Amino acid sequence: MSYEKVTQVKSRLIIGTKQTLKAMRNGEVSEVFIADDADGHITQKVARLAKEFNIPCKSVPSKRKLGTACGIEVGASAVAVKTK
């Protein structure tokens, strides 16, 4: 599942919607994860930009679990994986 992938690439993560959007615009992202239970108004921007830049965008059920997989104690609505 996607949470395991996030855990495996912790050193290459960009956590948070604003940081994810900025990194996507700068061409630094290879993949994006969006939490289904996050505010759609916020995550919609990430999904739209990912589609525009042909970046794979995967959904996960819980922002709390996504945050935990990233090693933070709060939820994460969007997380990006930096290109190598």
Tens-place pLDDT, residues 19-33 = 999 999 999 999 999
Q: Cβ contacts of residue 12 below 8 Å, gap of 6+? A: 81, 82, 84
Q: In what order do the strands lie in the sheet with 78-82?
A: 13-15, 78-82, 29-35, 57-60
DSSP-derived 3-state class of residue 68: helix
Instruction: Note the pLDDT tens digit of each residue in 15-64.
Output: 999 999 999 999 999 999 999 999 999 899 999 999 999 999 999 999 99
**Alpha carbon distance 84, 70 (integer Å):** 18
Domains of the chain: 2-82 (3.30.1330.30)
What pTM was computed for the model?
A: 0.89
**Does residue 1 have a pLDDT over 70?**
no
pLDDT at 53: 96
